[in-house]
Structure 1
Amino acid sequence: MHAIRLHTFGPAEHLTYEETPDPAPAPGQVRIAVTAAGVHLLDTAIRAGVKGPLPELPELPTIPGREVAGTVDALGEGVDGSWLGKRVVAHIGFAPGGYAELVVTEASRLHEIPGSLDDAEAVALIGTGRTTMGILQFTELTPDSVAVVPAAAGGIGTLLVQYAKHAGATVIGLAGGPEKTARVAANGADLAVDYKNPEWPDEVRAYLAKLGGSGVPGATVVFDGVGGEAGLAAVDLLAPGGAHVVFGWSGEGLRDGAPLTFTDEQLAARGITQLNVLGPEMMRRASSDNPIRTLELAALAEAEKGHFTPAVQRYPLAEAAAAHADLENRRTTGKVVLIP
């Protein structure tokens, strides 16, 4: 098979397209003929040699990637024979191996792909969709909600906008540049704003002032996966009683950034709450023996109901280095997926 391998931690060009031996499934495992492999911002940090939330970096050489879709083409001992030939999607865990034509993983990780989804969309839901459902556990969206979504053209941002609109909320989506802003508007945001325009906060405040009827002097929730100056400017739009939901800091980068945080005194002065939803708390909120699978199933169910339509940007598997570079430099829209 062909796969992307990393022999030395470093820049995107260290990812190389190579021929490697075909893997064979062990007992309890299946082999998937991959049709789509997800690329995550965390993958770029690991490639650079930064652990991020991982307990340790993978041994080199390694095949990156943890989210795949495709068709089951081989079964390990003890696996239900009905899986053979099924179209499936799986998050293969912290064990890498996804950027490849063939992947082995535990049968317990599989989900059959609903007929309404293509394989690349399914990959977006199993990772990005799962995270989105985890974030949404921390706040209730209603027709009275006014949600601000920085990075609204990204994978999570796209789904947050769709979910909030389905709940009847007013949605203000921020994105960088006219092309991305147009995508946010097409995705259903009530107001799509280019945060590269230094006057964008004034544009949003003017819109909030015209809302009328709701009695809300500002936004009720900010879904902040960006941090930095853009995140702070978005928090400044919150009305008293609003919530700042923090799930990342892509505006600063995973390598040296940090989430936007406030002291208790600062939060009290603003009259807002802050919820950091990363890590164990998201899993606890899922209230399940297998919280990851619970959130994956929830994301797939939202797609089946028509509430989620993931944004996907596809690259050939051989161009994984370009995909990483574009993702790191904010040149992508939606979920980045590699196609073998």
Structure 2
Amino acid sequence: MHAIRLHTFGPADHLTLEQVPDPVPGPGQVRIAVAAAGVHLLDTALREGFQGPLPKLPTLPTIPGREVAGTVESLGEGVADLWLGRRVVAHLGFAPGGYAELSVTDVDRVHDIPHNLDAAQAVAMIGTGRTAMGIVQFAGLGPHAVAVIPAAAGGIGTLLVQYAKNAGATVIGLAGGPEKTARVDANGADLAVDHQDPGWPAKVRAHLDGLPRSRPTDSPRTATVVFDGVGGSVARAAVDLLGPGGRHLVFGWSGAGPHDGEPYLVDGVSQQVLGPVMMRKAGGSNPVRTLELRALSEAAAGRLTPAVQRFPLAEAAAAHHALETRGTTGKVVLEP
């Protein structure tokens, strides 16, 4: 099969397309003919040699990627024949191997792909969608909520905008540049703002000031929740829009180091919601699978539609470079 391999940690051009032996499914595993493989920002960090939240760095050479969708074409010992030929999606967990024409994983990790999703959309929901479902657990969304969403044109941001709108919230989506801002507007945000404009916070306040109030004497509306996956100056300005008791939910810092190395001052709740915190909130015997099922169910019902940017498998290096330089919109996916 063809696969993308990394022999030494470093820049994106270290990713190379190679011919490698086909993987063999072990007991309790299936082999998937990959139609789409997800690219995550964490993949770029691992490629550079930064471990991030994972227990250890992959052993080199490695085939990166931990999200795949396609068709089951081979079964390991003990796997029921009914899986053969089914369209499935899976998050591979800590095991890499997704950037390839074939990938193996435990059958317990796979889900059927809803009939209304293609492979790339399914990949977006199994990883990015799962994360979005974990984040919204903490948001307190409803008709009286005002949600500010930085990076609203990204994979997670696109889904957060849709979810918050479905909950009846007022949604302020932030994005960088006219093209991305237009995408946020088309996605249903009540206000889409280009955060590259230095005056963007004033535009948001003006919009909130124009929202209906229960009584004429009531104070202007303020943000009730900021979904912060970027950190840096954009997130800091977004947090300043929060009213008393507002929630600042941190799930990443793609735009800077965590909080620029300084804590935010929030008259309310500031909380990091990734990792064990998210899993505890999801509950159940398998919280990861719980969140995956929620994400796929929302997409199957048509309530969430992921945004996807597709690259050929052979252009994995270009996909990494585009992701690192904020040249992407939606979930980045490789297609063999």
1:86 aligns with 2:82: no
Aligned to 2:40: 40
5+ residue gaps, structure 1, are: none
Large movers: runs of 4+ above 4 Å: 259-263
Q: How far is 1:259 from its partner?
A: 4.2
1:335 aligns with 2:331: yes
Q: Secondary structure at the match of 1:26?
A: coil
In structure 2, how many angstroms separate the alpha carbons of the residues matched to 1:179 and 1:282? 32
Q: Deviations over 1:17-55 (max 9, x none)?
A: 000001111110000000000000000000000001011
Aligned to 1:15: 15
Aligned to 2:113: 113
Deviates more, 1:326-335 or 1:135-144: 135-144
Q: Deviations over 1:294-318 (max 9, x none)?
A: 0000000111121110000000000
Aligned to 2:250: 246
Aligned to 2:31: 31
Give the AA of the match of 1:311. A
Q: Deviations over 1:152-179 (max 9, x none)?
A: 0000000000000011110000000000
Q: When the two structures are aligned, how many residues end up with a matched partner? A: 332
Give the AA of the match of 1:281. V
Counterpart among 304, 321, 338 of residue 300 in structure 2: 304
Q: Deviations over 1:231-268 (max 9, x none)?
A: 0000000011111011110112xxxx2246876xx74x
TM-score (norm 2): 0.97
Give the AA of the match of 1:239. G
Counterpart among 276, 289, 294 of residue 280 in structure 1: 276
1:232 aligns with 2:228: no
Q: How far is 1:217 from its partner?
A: 3.1
Q: Secondary structure at the match of 2:37?
A: strand
Aligned to 2:124: 124
Mapping of 1:192-203 within 5 angstroms?
192-203=192-203
Give the AA of the match of 1:321. A
**Kept after mapping to 1: 8 A contact 2:143/2:170:** yes
Aligned to 2:225: 221
**Kept after mapping to 2: 8 A contact 1:248/1:259:** no
Give the AA of the match of 1:316. P
Q: Secondary structure at the match of 2:258?
A: coil
**Kept after mapping to 2: 8 A contact 1:37/1:67:** yes
Aligned to 1:54: 54
Q: Deviations over 1:162-217 (max 9, x none)?
A: 00001111000000000000000000000000001111111111111111325553
In structure 1, how many angstroms separate the alpha carbons of the residues matched to 2:192 and 2:258? 26
Q: Secondary structure at the match of 2:165?
A: helix
**Kept after mapping to 1: 8 A contact 2:213/2:221:** no
In structure 2, how many angstroms separate the alpha carbons of the residues matched to 1:314 and 1:259? 31
**Kept after mapping to 2: 8 A contact 1:138/1:275:** no
Give the AA of the match of 1:189. A
Counterpart among 317, 321, 338 of residue 317 in structure 2: 321
Aligned to 2:139: 139
Q: Secondary structure at the match of 1:211?
A: coil
Q: Deviations over 1:86-124 (max 9, x none)?
A: 000000111100000000100000100010111100000
In structure 2, how many angstroms separate the alpha carbons of the residues matched to 1:131 and 1:274? 18
In structure 2, how many angstroms separate the alpha carbons of the residues matched to 1:271 and 1:202? 20
Give the AA of the match of 1:67. E
Give the AA of the match of 2:24. A
TM-score (norm 1): 0.96
**Kept after mapping to 2: 8 A contact 1:149/1:157:** yes
Give the AA of the match of 2:293. L
**Kept after mapping to 2: 8 A contact 1:155/1:333:** yes
5+ residue gaps, structure 2, are: none
In structure 2, how many angstroms separate the alpha carbons of the residues matched to 1:203 and 1:233? 12
